[in-house]
Amino acid sequence: MTRVAAVDLGTNSTRLLIADVYDGRLDAVHRETTITRLGEGVDERRRLLPVPIARVRRALDEFRRTIESLGAKRTLAVATSAVRDAENGASFLDEVERSYGFETRLLTGDDEALMTRRGVASGRELDAETLIVDIGGGSTELTLDDFHVSLDIGSVRLTERFLRSDPPTRDELDAAARAARDALPDVGPRTAIGVAGTITTIAALAAAPLTAETIAAQLDRLAALTVAQRRELAAMDPERAPVIVGGAVILNEVARRYELAEVEVSERDILDGAALAAADD
C-alpha cells in the first residue's frame, strides 16, 4: 500500500485528494476543495494574474499541512486548462515545485480526458457506450470508449465570454448555448456519467437524478437568480455561484445534443486518476 496525494490545479478550483493505493485500487482518506478561480482573466489576457495565483498559494499552504499530517509519501499536482492557456503557466508550475516540493505535470487536453476516465474507472466498470462528461472552468472533456476530446468551453470561459449581466439576459444565454452546442462532437453515447464540481453541485441543488428535464429546470432556476441570490442557495459553494450558470448551460447542451435520459453523477474524477498516477511513479 502507498499513501499518495493528488492536487488538481483547476481553472475554477484547487482540490486535494489523499488516498491509499494498492493493487490498482484506491481508498480515499481525505478530499478537499477550495474555489480559487486560477483561470480568472486567462481567456482574455492569456496570463495567470497575481491575485488568483495568491489564492492558489493560500490553498496549497493549507494542503501541504494536511498532506504532511496524514503522511502521504508522494504528491502529484496536475494542471489543466488555465495553466495550459497562460503564457506564464510553465513558470507558475516551476514555482509550485520549488515552493511545495510537489511533482507537477501539465496535462494536455487528451491527458486530462484519459486521466479523468482512469479515475472514474477506478470505482466501477465502464460500458463502451458510456460518455464521461467533465465540465471544468476552462474546458470540457468528453470520453467515450477510445474516443476522447477536450473542448475549449468551460464554466468560467463561457461566463467571461457571454454571461456578463447579473442575472444573464436571454440573448446572453442563447449565445452561450450556441457556443457550447457548436463545440460538441458527433458521437452517439447510450448513457453518461458526469464528474467534477459543476455537475455535483447541480445534482445537489436538484436533490434528484439528473434527467434531461431536471438539468433544464436547474438551468432556468439558476439563470433567473443574481449571483448574490445563488450564493444563498443550500448546497451551493458561494464562490461557485458566479460561474455555475455557464456550467449548467454546457451540461444542458450535452444532454440535449446526445438525447440523454439521465446523467449519472460520479464522485471519482481526474483527482482519483492523478492519485493512481502518483502511485505509479
Cβ atoms of residues 140 and 109 within 8 Å? no
Q: Tell me which amino acid residue 87 is.
A: E
Q: Report the distance separating Cα 57 and Cα 177, nearest Å.
A: 34
Same domain membership, residue 87 and residue 59: yes
State which of 110, 134, 161 marks the end of a domain. Answer: 110
Same domain membership, residue 29 and residue 73: yes
Residue 239 has pLDDT above 80, yes or no: yes
What is the structure's pLDDT at 1?
87
| Residue 277 covered by a domain | no
Mean pLDDT of the chain: 95
Question: What's 9's domain CATH number?
Answer: 3.30.420.40
Same domain membership, residue 184 and residue 147: yes
Query: What is the DSSP track for 171-205?
Result: HHHHHHHHHHHHH------SEEEEESHHHHHHHHH
| Residue 20 covered by a domain | yes
Task: Please compute the mean of the pLDDT values over residues 2-31 and round it to a whole number.
Answer: 95
| Residue 72 covered by a domain | yes
Task: Please compute the mean of the pLDDT values over residues 56-74 and round it to a whole number.
Answer: 97
Q: How many helices (H) and strands (E) does the chain have?
A: 12, 11
Residue 81: give the domain boundaries.
2-110
> What region, left, alpha or beta, does residue 13 occupy, with left being phi > 0 and alpha being psi -120 to 50 degrees?
beta
Same domain membership, residue 139 and residue 224: yes
Q: Report the distance separating Cα 76 and Cα 3, nearest Å.
A: 12
What is the structure's pLDDT at 7?
98
Task: Please compute the mean of the pLDDT values over residues 13-42 and round it to a whole number.
Answer: 94
Same domain membership, residue 130 and residue 242: yes
Q: Report the distance separating Cα 30 and Cα 66, nearest Å.
A: 9
What is the structure's pLDDT at 14?
97
Residue 281 has pLDDT above 70, yes or no: no
Q: By C-alpha distance, which of 82, 102, 73, 91 is closest to 7?
A: 102
| Residue 275 covered by a domain | no
Q: Which range has the worst mean pLDDT, 20-29, 46-55, 65-74, 177-186?
A: 20-29
Residue 209 has pLDDT above 80, yes or no: yes
State which of 45, 80, 110 marks the end of a domain. Answer: 110
pLDDT band at 123 (very low <50, low <70, confident <90, very high): confident
Same domain membership, residue 129 and residue 259: yes
What is the structure's pLDDT at 253?
98
What is the structure's pLDDT at 241?
97
Residue 24 has pLDDT above 90, yes or no: no
**Quick one: CA dihedral 82, 85, 87, 92, positive or negative?**
positive
Residue 39 has pLDDT above 90, yes or no: yes
Question: What's 239's domain CATH number?
Answer: 3.30.420.150
Same domain membership, residue 129 and residue 105: no
Same domain membership, residue 150 and residue 76: no
Same domain membership, residue 17 and residue 135: no
Same domain membership, residue 139 and residue 42: no
Pull the grid cell for residue 86: 497562460
> How many structural domains compose the chain?
2
Task: Please compute the mean of the pLDDT values over residues 31-58 and round it to a whole number.
Answer: 95
| Residue 196 covered by a domain | yes
pLDDT band at 185 (very low <50, low <70, confident <90, very high): very high
Task: Please compute the mean of the pLDDT values over residues 103-109 and round it to a whole number.
Answer: 95
pLDDT digits (tens, 9 = 90+) for 83-104: 999 999 999 999 999 999 999 9
Between 93 and 25, residue with greater pLDDT: 93
Same domain membership, residue 258 and residue 159: yes
State which of 82, 110, 138 marks the end of a domain. Answer: 110
Q: By C-alpha distance, which of 245, 273, 240 is closest to 141?
A: 273
pLDDT band at 125 (very low <50, low <70, confident <90, very high): confident
pLDDT exceeding 70 applies to what percent of the chain?
100
| Residue 273 covered by a domain | no
| Residue 274 covered by a domain | no
Pull the grid cell for residue 42: 486567462
- pTM to 2 decimals? 0.90
Residue 142 has pLDDT above 70, yes or no: yes
Same domain membership, residue 137 and residue 60: no
| Residue 155 covered by a domain | yes
